[in-house]
Chain A
Amino acid sequence: MSELLDVFIGESRENLESASQELVEIQTSGPSSDKVDKIFRDLHTIKGSSDLFDIKPLTRLAHAAEDLLDSVRAKEVDYNDEIGDLLLEALDQISMWFDELENGTQNLAEWQPISTDLSAQLRAFIDPSQADASTTEQTPAAQADSSTNEIADSVATALDAFDDNADIALLSKSASSDLYVMEYTPDEGCFFRGEDPVNVALALPGLHAFEINAPAMAADADVYQCVLKITALGEASEDTVVTHMAYYEGQYTLHKLTQQALKYRCKDKILDSVAQLNDEALNDALKTARETGDTNMLQSTAGLLLASQTHPMPTKAVLSFLSSDNDLTFLDDDKQLGGPDDSADDSASGADEPSKEGLLPHEKELLTQQLALISSEGYSAEFMFPSISMLVGNVLKQTFSDEAELISAINAALEDVQNDIPEIQDVVETTNAINESEMQTAEDEASQPAKAERQAVKMLKVDQSKIDYLMDIVGELTVAKNSLPYLAKQAEEEGGSKKLSKQIKAHFSIVNRLTESLQSAVLQIRMVPVSHVFQRYPRLVRDLSRKLDKKIELCMQGEDTEFDKNLIESLSEPLIHLLRNSIDHGIESPEDRIEAGKPETGRIDLIATPLDDSVIIEIRDDGKGIDPHKIKLLAFQKGVITESQLESIDDNEALQLIFAAGFSTSEQVSDLSGRGVGMDAVKTMVSQAGGSIEMQSEVGVGSTFKLLLPQTMSVNRVMMFEVNDQMFGVSMDAVVETVKVPTQDIQRIRNENVLVIRDKLIPLCNLRDALGFEPDGGKEEHSILVVSTPQGEFGLIIDKFHEGIDVIQKPLEGVLAGYSHFSGTALLGDGRVLLIINVQEVLSTCL
């Protein structure tokens, strides 16, 4: 994917996100001009940028959405939920297309009908009568039958716009049968949009000739309106022409033309020209060719004639056609030779770009515009002269001291141009017209100083991988500085220098302080407000509640609370799961709510609160709540708890059972939440992020999920232990307890080593086996690390316990990345590498 496309998608995704957010807000709180304007601007940016990539379906859809919003903004169309839904659908579609673009799986042909359909739906809101107009516009033109030799009347009329020689000249040059005639009638208001019809026509693919038809204008005609009619003749496939004219849909009619049809049209002219030349050899050759079909003689004779003399344009074209083409069957229709025609001395075709005085077209345009500016009514010398003079000076390589000099210089340079190209005159006039009120508005807006805005926060967008890299380096630095105390110790013990040791220690405290501030600074960079994730939820809640016919209001608090970016992203999914759960199982249907004496609209609160180095996220609903007794019973049925536990467990503990593996309270699997991953998945994700989750609920009042999460996940607490004289670590979160047991306490049940701790059966796993070390037989006492996993508690038999430390965990890279036994590595203060065990994986190989 190109870098430009990358930037485009990244930027457009932000626009999409913000647009759909505003849309959802509009749906709950009604449209405001601010919001509509914001959405309009977002779509406008997407459309504008997508133009650069030639992704027509996308551009068209964004354009339609933009136009609709423009109408809403201008109060021409009243906003309603239907419009909102359709716009959201369009946004979703665009977002899906972005996914495909990113994966490189896009299929523009498939996008086309979707885009056309959605655009038409959007446009139907702007003008219901034109619902289908845009899609059918082009069909009649495309239907021109290419097999017939006859030219349709409309095409013939179009061709008549040209000089007599244009068609035959095309015939002599054309190499394929992809010929076209196009009638292009630019919109009346096109000049105001900055469109340049003449340039559009000039840039047509394979353009051969074009004619501009400007009707004589009445004295009181509106000079701002484009009244031109352009007819173009050329050789290119229909597709390329349509692509070229994509932005002018509806303003042109394209007629296809075959070479054969064109030949028939030119038949008389060819014969006339030959007759007029009155060359004996050519006449004979033509006669032979028509009688015998042998065109060799004709071709060489025509070629000779063409080379030997200068001919007027049409004759030249006929000769060059005769010398190149050998299919003359179309001439078989009998026709008297002779009979002079007066069309012969027509001058050159209008196809050539008029080029005068050595000025380039764009220079001309620029100069004309400057002239228009300087002679416009509202012209102020102080305001405009410096830049105009600078610009004209650059173009003409001259300097000017006053307006008169400048005007005459431009006029001299342009001279005939203004008579030649009528529409430029229009532009001049256009600018002369100054709408007083318009000017006033512009004045007012411009005079407001932008002082407040100048103090706006400066933002820097940085690739996240760069920050992660910085974080890694800081992590290494943290570890590296930890070696200083070792060094000091060494200096004291081996070198016997207390002084040196003291100096090292003093230095260490400085480096330590700096590293700590560096670390917290980098962590700060990675902090983003939770709104980053929260902002997606109103949409989710709205969509789901509609699907379920429930009325739900989502209230969010503490969106400014900051969070580590990586962490927040890993949280997005569990939060969605919890929200879904509340919407699906928590909030009752409106009828049930009314019956229960609650307001019809349910309410879900999503609250983030910072607490020291952690953040608490609460999801609270005022739904039907969960009955702990029901949970207890279900848990027992599903074998999550034993019969004795069923008796002893209290209500709060019972509620937490919903996080146990294989537990789902919903008897019916619904489309929304019961996707087979229950609350245990949520709990796993939360604990992977280093957090914890608990649930409170009161029947009939509602439920609350409370997540306690660390603000950053960069520092992990790890328990170190030793196996076969090597150090390993295991995440402290997984550690339940450490026990030392005599060998005889380990029992064997069905070939598995197990240990009974406080009446609980705990399967054991010998890490020496699991990690492939030699067995260490004959020990009297074993150290066992009890860890908790989603599958329950297990005991790891190890050699020796060590302390817990804070480390910065790094993923395994390179060849090591394949070893799923380890979840990562960390550097110890003395430079050793600590391998951190992935408990789940190790257990799966050992049990």
Chain B
Amino acid sequence: MKTVMIVDDASTVRMFHKMLVSSDDRVVEEAENGVEALEKAIGTHIDLFLVDVNMPKMDGYRLCKEIRQNELLRAVPIIMISTESATQDAQRAYQCGANFYMTKPVNADSLKSVVSAVLGGS
């Protein structure tokens, strides 16, 4: 059983990503912002973070950094998903510790494949 945490302030997007990512052998956790994500992640086992960039309270970049600097979470792969069209974003995401960067709206098949690949499924 693998656990994916979806962090996005838009509940519509969370719901959509959840639909895409869900499967029989996966559990999906949701969080509205970085703060909530960290709170929930510590004390749970997470296998993958899907993180939005633009969020209130703690944005995606800071969340990435926090995850990477956290003893318990640092090995968890992070996929950043953003609608940002600013040129520096992918770069910044990678600097902050993301393993992969995708643009919203994600292609449903791409997201599924990437998530499967990261989780080591087929």
> Could you tell me which A residues sit within 8 Å of B by CB distance?
3-4, 7-8, 11-12, 41, 44-45, 47-49, 51-52, 189, 191-195, 199, 203, 360-363, 365-366, 369-370, 372-373, 376, 378, 383-384, 386-391, 393-395, 397, 430-431, 433-435, 438-439, 442, 445-448, 450, 453-454, 456
Contact = CB atoms under 8 A, between A and B. Distances in A.
Interface string B54-85: 10111001101110110000111110001111
A453 B101 contact: no
21 contacts: A7-B12, A8-B12, A45-B9, A47-B83, A48-B13, A48-B83, A49-B12, A49-B13, A193-B89, A360-B113, A362-B110, A362-B117, A366-B114, A387-B97, A391-B99, A433-B91, A442-B61, A442-B92, A446-B64, A446-B69, A450-B57
Given A390-B75, A393-B120, 8 more contacts: A52-B12, A189-B87, A394-B120, A431-B94, A442-B65, A450-B34, A450-B35, A454-B38
A191 B102 CA distance: 10
Interface of B: 9-13, 15-16, 19, 34-35, 38-39, 54, 56-58, 61-62, 64-66, 68-69, 74-78, 82-92, 94-97, 99-105, 107, 110, 113-114, 117-120
B120 A383 contact: no
Contact of B54 (A41, A195, A361): A41
Contacts of B35: 450, 453-454, 456
B57 A362 contact: no
B45 to A, nearest CB: 13
Contacts of A394: 77, 117-120
A423 to B, nearest CB: 13
Nearest to B52: A48
Contacts of A52: 12-13, 16, 105
Contacts of A192: 86-91
Given A370-B99, A442-B61, A445-B61, A386 B10 contact: no
Given A44-B83, A376-B94, A389 B75 contact: yes
A454 B42 CA distance: 13
Contacts of B114: 362, 365-366
A384 B65 CA distance: 10
A707 to B, nearest CB: 35
Nearest to A433: B91
What are the 6 A-B residue pairs with the smallest beta carbon separation, nearest first? A394-B120, A446-B65, A386-B75, A51-B105, A194-B103, A362-B113
Contacts of A12: 12
A450 B62 contact: yes
B20 to A, nearest CB: 10
Q: Report which residue of A45, A366, A370, A378 has the largest number of chain B beta carbons within 10 angstroms of its beta carbon.
A: A45
Nearest to B118: A391
Given A52-B13, A387-B68, A445-B61, A395 B75 contact: no
A387 B61 contact: no
Given A430-B90, A446-B65, A454-B35, A369 B100 contact: yes
Contacts of A447: 65
Nearest to B94: A431
A447 B117 CA distance: 31
Nearest to B34: A450
A430 B65 CA distance: 20
Contact of A45 (B10, B19, B34): B10
B24 to A, nearest CB: 18
A11 B15 CA distance: 12
A387 B118 CA distance: 10
Given A52-B13, A362-B114, A456-B57, A194 B77 contact: no
A11 B56 contact: no
B12 A383 contact: no
A446 B62 contact: yes
A456 B103 CA distance: 30
A439 B93 CA distance: 11
B44 to A, nearest CB: 16
Contacts of B118: 366, 391, 394-395
A439 B62 CA distance: 12
Nearest to A366: B117
Contacts of A195: 103
B75 to A, nearest CB: 4
Contacts of B84: 193
Contact of A193 (B9, B78, B87, B94): B87
A369 B99 contact: yes
Given A378-B95, A442-B92, A194 B113 contact: no
Contacts of A453: 35, 57-58
Contacts of A431: 91, 94
Contacts of A191: 90
A421 to B, nearest CB: 16
B15 A7 contact: yes
A12 B103 CA distance: 20
Contacts of B99: 366, 369-370, 373, 387-388, 391
Nearest to B114: A362
